[in-house]
Amino acid sequence: MANNAIKQALAGLRVLLVLTVLTGVLYPAAVWAVSRLPGLHANAEAVGTTLVAVDRGGDRWFHPRPSAAAPPASGASNKGERDADYDAVVAGRRAEVAEREGVPADAVPPDAVTASASGLDPHISTDYATLQVPRVARENRLGEDRVRHLVVEHTEGRALGFLGEPTVNVTALNRALDAAR
């Protein structure tokens, strides 16, 4: 009996060691190596994907939703809408966006001042994208009609045709803006 228990314990230990090496060493090393391959990143932005918001900063670009975490990290906030600190953060963001876009604070859409759950969501409302058109057009020396057309081209419909509201993928839109310039 005791000999059988020792055999089982050793078998379990071998499995633990093999899985630790596979999932704790080899897999992370492979992911790291693939991430270093040339052609996957350009200007610190993942190439070929529009699944992650990239805030390029500056007035030449469309801005995504704010992140609750400090860049480049992602993460949500545990503050609720009745939290005084959260209210102050949202009010500060609202004032900043209103000043940047040259509009009254009450014209700033909610998604311009509230963070997505992960801080990585590349989608903004059509209202927020439209609000940014004059600034982006001016800073890129493009006509507002051309920039509005880019927004329309990158507007995605409702999920499954009826869920949510139409959105604009900021990462894809900024890449199209690069091509238009």
Task: Report pLDDT digits (tens) over 101-122.
Answer: 999 999 999 999 988 776 677 8
What is the predicted pLDDT for the residue at 151?
95
Residues 33 and 49 in one domain: no
Residues 6+ apart with CB under 8 A from 76: 68, 69, 115, 117, 118, 119
What would the two tokens of residue 118 be? 């992960």
**Total tally of structural domains belonging to the chain:** 2
Residues 59 and 99 in one domain: yes
Residues 22 and 78 in one domain: no
44-60 tens-digit pLDDT: 555 566 767 777 778 89
Its domain, for residue 28, covers 2-37
Residues 64 and 91 in one domain: yes
What is the predicted pLDDT for the residue at 109?
96
Is the CB of residue 66 less than 8 Å from the CB of residue 93? yes
| pLDDT range class, residue 71, cuts 50, 70, 90 | low
Main-chain dihedrals φ then ψ at residue 25, nearest 5 degrees: -125, -60
Residues 60 and 80 in one domain: yes
What would the two tokens of residue 122 be? 């590349």
Residues 94 and 62 in one domain: yes
Write out the H or E segment, with its range, that includes residue 126: helix 126-140
Q: What is the spatial distance between Cα 94 and Cα 105, in angstroms, rounded to a whole number?
A: 6
Question: 37-41, 83-87, 132-136, 167-171: lowest mean pLDDT where?
Answer: 37-41
Residues 55 and 143 in one domain: yes
Is the CB of residue 110 less than 8 Å from the CB of residue 134? no
> Which amino acid appears at position 162 of this protein?
F
Residues 7 and 50 in one domain: no
Residues 20 and 73 in one domain: no
Q: What is the spatial distance between Cα 154 and Cα 149, in angstroms, rounded to a whole number?
A: 9
146-174 tens-digit pLDDT: 999 999 999 998 888 888 899 999 999 99
Main-chain dihedrals φ then ψ at residue 42, nearest 5 degrees: -140, 125
Residues 53 and 30 in one domain: no
Size of the chain in residues: 181
Residues 20 and 52 in one domain: no
What is the predicted pLDDT for the residue at 84?
80
Residues 28 and 59 in one domain: no
